[in-house]
């Protein structure tokens, strides 16, 4: 494949997305970075007024650990981090509550659902690195075959993504069954591409297969909700969604809308790059669909 394998860092993102980065890091809940991010998110305006020494003492960590944290989430220095935090606070709309109460009326619940999904899309856009997305598009266009894997709700996104790419003439294969994945992925090579989709980025099967595909030379892409997730770290490129679960039951909350929006962004950018080729393929598919529909109605 023509695309070079280069890990895309979280630094390659838009300005003013600091709160979204912190939210993504805090959501991991299981490491020192999450603890630092959670503290800053609890009162970002107060954190903004502190020096690195004052902030590190408040968090009960060292200034060097805080400096490494800033680098880990994409900033060269603490000053860069603080500047982007200030921009993010200014640009961010009022926070949306993720708590649903039993005494909420129907209209309140519906409004909150739409607000949270709108916030998810806004934060996902803020985290999206356009150069990274362009490299993914280049890899898709140059791949012999694009494999898409996911389990649970992510499997549905994988199938929908496969349909999108197939409509542009891209050879794809969407899989969610573990046995199917185990039988198919051993044959990937440097000519292929793997897109692994996982909200948590912690699904063991998906992580393992991503590492194996990468070891065989395939370009690997993760679509996941957490910057520091094992899947993001195992992939060449990580496209990060943003969906804060907060008090909502994890069984009913997901970043499926943001995941699908990323897929659609890949689809339309890929179609633009393919130009008239994509247009002709789309016309052929539409003509075939209309012909099939006419036959069914006769």
H, E, C per residue of 100-155: CCCCCCHHHHHHHHHHHHHHHHHHHHHHCCHHHHHHHHHHHHHCCCEEEEECCHHH
Domain match, 153 and 219 both: yes
Q: Are residues 161 and 83 part of one domain?
A: no
Same domain for 242 and 142, yes or no, is: yes
Assigned domain for 297 exists:
no
Domain-located, residue 141: yes
Quick one: 146 and 261 in the same domain? yes
Structure tokens at 276: 């008239």
The tens digit of pLDDT for each residue in 66-94 reads 999 999 888 999 999 999 999 888 877 66
- pLDDT score of 274: 82
Task: Tell me, yes or no, whether 137 and 271 share the same domain.
Answer: yes
Residue ending a domain, choose from 44, 70, 92? 92
* DSSP-derived secondary structure letter, 228: T
Same domain, 169 and 67: no
Q: Is the CB of residue 124 less than 8 Å from the CB of residue 242?
A: yes
Say which residue, 72 or 248, is predicted with more confidence: 72
Tell me whether residue 124 is in a domain: no
Give the pLDDT band of residue 266 (cuts 50, 70, 90): very high
pLDDT score of 295 more than 70 = no
148 and 88 share one domain: no
pLDDT at 278 (0 to 100): 58
Instruction: Give pairs for 249-256: CB < 8 Å, separation 24+.
Output: 254/153, 254/199, 255/120, 255/124, 255/199, 255/225, 256/153, 256/156, 256/157
Residue numbers of the domain that contains 35: 13-92
Q: How large a percentage of the chain has pLDDT more than 70? A: 79
- CATH number, domain of 60, equals 1.10.10.10
- Per-residue confidence (pLDDT) for residue 208, from 0 to 100: 94
- Percent of the chain exceeding pLDDT 90 equals 44
Is residue 213 pLDDT above 90, yes or no?
Answer: yes
The number of beta carbons lying within 10 Å of the beta carbon of residue 230 is 21
Number of structural domains (the chain) is: 2
Residue 79 in any domain: the answer is: yes
As a whole number of angstroms, the distance between CA 233 and CA 224 comes to 11
Last residue of a domain, one of 92, 118, 138: 92
Same domain, 145 and 210: yes
- Domain co-membership, 151 together with 32: no
**What CATH number does the domain containing 211 carry?**
3.40.50.10490
Pair (197, 258) in one structural domain = yes
Judge whether residue 49 has pLDDT over 50. Answer: yes
The verdict on residue 217 lying in a domain is yes
Residue 279's pLDDT band (boundaries 50, 70, 90)? Answer: low
This prediction's pTM: 0.75
pLDDT at 248: 45
Q: Which residue has the higher pLDDT, 13 or 142?
A: 142
The better pLDDT of the pair 11, 259 is held by: 259
Residue 116 has a pLDDT of 82
Whether the predicted pLDDT of 100 surpasses 90: no
Band (pLDDT 50/70/90 cuts) for residue 17 is: confident
Do 88 and 143 fall into the same domain? no
Instruction: Specify the pLDDT at position 30.
Output: 62
**Does residue 108 fall inside a structural domain?**
no
Place of tokens 């969906």: 243
Is the pLDDT at 200 greater than 70, yes or no?
Answer: yes
pLDDT value of residue 179 = 86
pLDDT-derived band at 292 (thresholds 50, 70, 90) equals low
Q: Please name the residue ranges forming H helices in the chain.
A: 18-26, 32-42, 44-48, 52-59, 63-72, 78-91, 106-127, 130-142, 153-166, 178-184, 204-215, 230-234, 256-274, 276-297
Q: Is residue 161 part of a domain?
A: yes
Residue 58 domain flag = yes
pLDDT, average across residues 142-161: 94
Q: Does 264 share its domain with 192?
A: yes
Statement: residue 7 has pLDDT above 50: no
Among 65, 92, 119, residue at a domain's last position: 92
Comparison of pLDDT for 40 and 101, the residue scoring more: 40
d(CA 80, CA 66): 13
Residue 103 has pLDDT above 90, yes or no: no
The helix-helix angle for 106-127 and 18-26 (nearest 10°) equals: 110
Residue 209: pLDDT band by 50, 70, 90 thresholds? very high
Give me the half-sphere count of Cα atoms (radius 13 Å) on the Cβ side of residue 236. Answer: 23
């Amino acid at each position: 494949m023509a695309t070079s394998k280069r890990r895309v860092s979280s630094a390659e993102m838009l300005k003013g997305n600091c709160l979204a980065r912190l939210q993504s890091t805090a959501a991991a809940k299981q490491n020192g970075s999450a603890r630092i991010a959670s503290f800053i998110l609890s009162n970002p305006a107060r954190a903004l007024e502190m020096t690195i020494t004052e902030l590190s003492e408040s968090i009960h960590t060292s200034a060097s650990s805080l400096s490494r944290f800033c680098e880990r989430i994409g900033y060269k220095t603490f000053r860069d981090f603080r500047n982007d935090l200030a921009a993010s606070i200014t640009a961010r709309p009022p926070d949306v509550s993720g708590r649903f109460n039993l005494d909420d009326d129907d209209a309140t619940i519906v409004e909150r659902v739409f607000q949270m999904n709108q916030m998810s899309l806004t934060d996902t856009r803020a985290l999206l690195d356009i150069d990274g997305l362009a490299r993914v598009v280049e890899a898709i266009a140059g791949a012999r075959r694009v494999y898409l894997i996911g389990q649970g709700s992510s499997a549905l996104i994988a199938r929908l993504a496969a349909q999108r790419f197939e409509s542009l003439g891209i050879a794809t294969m969407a899989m969610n069954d573990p046995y199917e994945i185990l039988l198919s992925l051993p044959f990937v090579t440097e000519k292929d591409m793997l897109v692994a989709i996982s909200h948590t980025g912690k699904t063991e099967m998906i992580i393992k297969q991503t590492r194996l595909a990468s070891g065989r030379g395939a370009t690997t892409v993760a679509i996941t909700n957490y910057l520091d997730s094992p899947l993001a770290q195992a992939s060449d490129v990580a496209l990060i969604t943003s969906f804060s679960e907060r008090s909502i039951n994890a069984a009913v909350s997901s970043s499926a809308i943001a995941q699908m929006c990323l897929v659609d962004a890949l689809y339309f950018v890929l179609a633009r790059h393919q130009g008239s080729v994509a247009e002709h393929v789309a016309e052929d598919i539409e003509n075939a669909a209309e012909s099939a529909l006419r036959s069914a109605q006769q």
